[in-house]
Amino acid sequence: EVQLVESGGDLVQPGGSLRLSCAASGFVFDRYGMDWVRQAPGKGLEWISFISSNSYTTYYADSVEGRFIISRDNAKNSLYLQMNSLRDGDTAVYYCARDPGQIAVARLDNWGQGTLVTVSS
């Protein structure tokens, strides 16, 4: 069974940093791309980042480009999102998702339960 478990969500002040993790199990992690998607309270889904299976290719939404960094450790079956210069508008539940696309997004076929990031002073 595919399992994705996010962690690292917290309350952080504007301008602060946070690192999210996503632990993957139940599939061959290094054969899949991975995505981060967020959902602000009461709002829709926002795709924010993709990383290819071999980490060579990354993509970001304009809203996080230059502030967030996606990475992965295939030896640890883990995905990360380093979030810097956080803003109030970054408050959301952050989901990691598995992507059969090895070099670009193809579809998000399994999702974690999400971790809540709250940016507030």
Partner 1 sequence: DIQMTQSPASLSASVGDRVTITCRASQGISGYLAWYQQQPGKVPKLLMYAASILQSGVSSRFSGSGSGTDFTLTISSLQPEDVATYYCQKYDSSPFTFGGGTKVEIK
Residues at the interface with partner 1 (CB under 8 A)? 35, 37, 44-47, 50, 59-62, 95, 101, 104-114
Nearest CA among 121, 118, 99, 101 for reference residue 38? 118
User: Which one, 88 or 109, has the nearer CB to partner 1?
Assistant: 109
Nearest distance in Å: CB 87, partner 1: 18
* Closest distance of CB 17 from partner 1, Å: 23
Q: Which two tokens stand for residue 104?
A: 């670009």
Structure tokens given for 92: 């959301």
Q: How far is the CB of 85 from partner 1 (least distance, A)?
A: 19
Q: Which helix (H) or strand (E) holds 45?
A: strand 45-51
Considering the complex, state which of residue 86 and residue 93 has its C-beta at the smaller distance from partner 1.
Answer: 93
What is the spatial distance between Cα 61 and Cα 81, in angstroms, rounded to a whole number?
A: 13
